[in-house]
């Protein structure tokens, strides 16, 4: 059997060192197990993704030293695959249109006698649209924006068994899904959850290497795979590269980008060695620490 994995960034900004850390984990695993490595550009969110960032991702990954199979999959070029999955789930009766705004959901949760604290309300959905009649659904869909939600109760019954997933060490994890999740958004039609399971199946991905920040999504992905009759990959969730304060590196907190490191003239081989060190868990630099970065990582020879 040929093992296959993928690195799948979203072009919502430039790649930062946290992304590079994850990419090198994928490459190291692929090399260890003689597996094929694919590159996927997850660009279905047309409200945030930009083609110039997609070009920059490919350029920066090549500078980092990654290599992948020639054909790069851009999600935005395969929308019909995700639309077919939505159609299948509709035919199964496990999704329904949700017309609620975030404000309406928050107000409903706060109204309920068992409401959680305000800081928790955005993570739950109280099922306001779950039991609308087919006629009401149809009428409102003609003139109101809506998202597709997965009816978890129906989906779990239809799946016919406890949904679980297995990690790289063979340990079994039970899915814990506590509310009706969105799988088709009002603004971009398809959620990350739906697109990623369709892509992994179509690309014959056998192993998924990704950060622990996505571990909680794995149960959702296994449920969708079960409903759509898709194969089950093995999941390996690695620890994240964090800043000095213990926060994971992200675009929103201006993590050091590979583009900035390239412009500084950082030695890419020393950067790779630093990020590939299994003991490395912290990026010890802040924005503007050019001298400190060059002292540790050197300049291109």
Give the CA radius of gyration of the chain. Answer: 21
Q: Give the pair of three-digit tokens for residue 224.
A: 């969708």
Q: Per-residue pLDDT for 113 more than 60?
A: no
What is the percent of the chain where pLDDT is above 70? 92
Other C-beta atoms within 10 Å of 143: how many?
6
pLDDT of residue 94: 96
pLDDT band at 122 (very low <50, low <70, confident <90, very high): very low
CATH of 80-184, one of 3.40.50.261, 3.90.1520.10, 3.90.800.10, 3.40.50.150: 3.90.800.10
Query: In the chain, which segments carry CATH 3.90.800.10?
Result: 80-184
Residue 288 has pLDDT above 90, yes or no: no
Helix axes 268-276, 290-297, angle to 10 degrees: 80
For residues 117-133, give the mean pLDDT.
70
More confident residue, 114 or 207: 207
Least confident of 53-57, 92-96, 274-278: 274-278
State yes or no: pLDDT of 35 exceeds 80.
yes
Per residue in 229-247, pLDDT (tens digit) is 999 999 999 999 988 878 8
Q: Tell me, which fold does domain 4-77+241-297 have in CATH?
A: Rossmann fold (3.40.50)
Per-residue model confidence as pLDDT tens digits over 81-111: 999 999 999 999 999 999 998 888 887 777 7
pLDDT at 253: 64
Q: What is the mean pLDDT of residues 68-72?
A: 95
Give tens-digit pLDDT for 139-189.
999 999 999 999 999 999 998 767 888 787 778 888 888 789 999 988 888
> Which segments of the chain belong to CATH 3.40.50.620?
4-77+241-297
- Phi/psi of residue 150, each to 5°? -90, 125
Tell me what pLDDT residue 295 has.
Answer: 87
Task: Kindly state the tokens that stand for 195.
Answer: 């697109």
Asked if the model's pLDDT at residue 119 lies above 70, the reply is no
pTM for the full model? Answer: 0.89
Query: Cα–Cα distances in Å, from 135 out to 2, 89, 131, 140, 142?
Result: 49, 19, 11, 9, 11
Residue 280 has a pLDDT of 67
In the structure encoding, which two tokens stand for residue 44, read together?
A: 């279905």
Between the ranges 66-75, 252-261, 290-299, where is the mean pLDDT highest?
66-75
* Confidence grade of residue 250 (pLDDT, cut at 50, 70, 90): confident
Mean pLDDT of the chain: 89
Question: Do the Cβ atoms of 193 and 224 come closer than 8 Å?
Answer: yes
pLDDT at 278: 62
pLDDT for residue 112: 63
Whether 16 has a pLDDT exceeding 70, the answer reads: yes
């Amino acid at each position: 059997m040929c093992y296959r994995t993928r690195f799948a960034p979203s072009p919502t900004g430039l790649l930062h060192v946290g992304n590079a850390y994850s990419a090198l984990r994928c490459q190291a695993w692929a090399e260890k197990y003689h597996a094929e490595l694919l590159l996927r550009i997850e660009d279905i969110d047309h409200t945030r993704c930009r083609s110039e960032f997609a070009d920059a991702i490919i350029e920066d990954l090549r500078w980092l030293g990654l290599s992948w199979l020639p054909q790069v999959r851009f999600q935005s070029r395969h929308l019909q695959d995700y639309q077919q999955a939505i159609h299948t789930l509709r035919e199964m009766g496990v999704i329904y249109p949700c017309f609620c705004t975030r404000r309406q959901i928050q107000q409903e949760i706060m109204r309920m006698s068992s409401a959680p604290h305000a800081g928790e309300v955005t993570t739950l959905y109280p099922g306001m649209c779950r039991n609308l009649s087919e006629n009401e659904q149809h009428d409102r869909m003609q003139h109101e924006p809506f998202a597709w939600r997965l009816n978890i109760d129906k989906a779990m019954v239809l799946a016919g068994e406890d949904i679980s997933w297995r990690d790289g060490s063979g340990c079994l994890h039970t899915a814990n899904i506590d509310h009706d999740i969105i799988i088709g958004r009002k603004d971009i039609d398809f959620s990350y959850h739906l697109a990623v399971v369709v892509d992994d199946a179509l690309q014959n991905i056998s192993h998924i290497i990704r950060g622990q920040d996505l571990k909680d999504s794995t149960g959702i992905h296994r449920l969708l795979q079960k409903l759509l009759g898709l194969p089950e990959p093995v999941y390996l969730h690695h620890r994240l590269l964090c800043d000095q304060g213990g926060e994971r590196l992200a675009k929103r907190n201006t993590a050091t980008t590979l583009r900035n490191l390239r412009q500084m003239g950082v030695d890419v081989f020393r950067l790779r060695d630093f990020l590939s060190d299994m003991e490395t868990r912290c990026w010890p630099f802040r924005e503007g620490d050019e001298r400190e970065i060059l002292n540790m990582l050197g300049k291109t020879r």
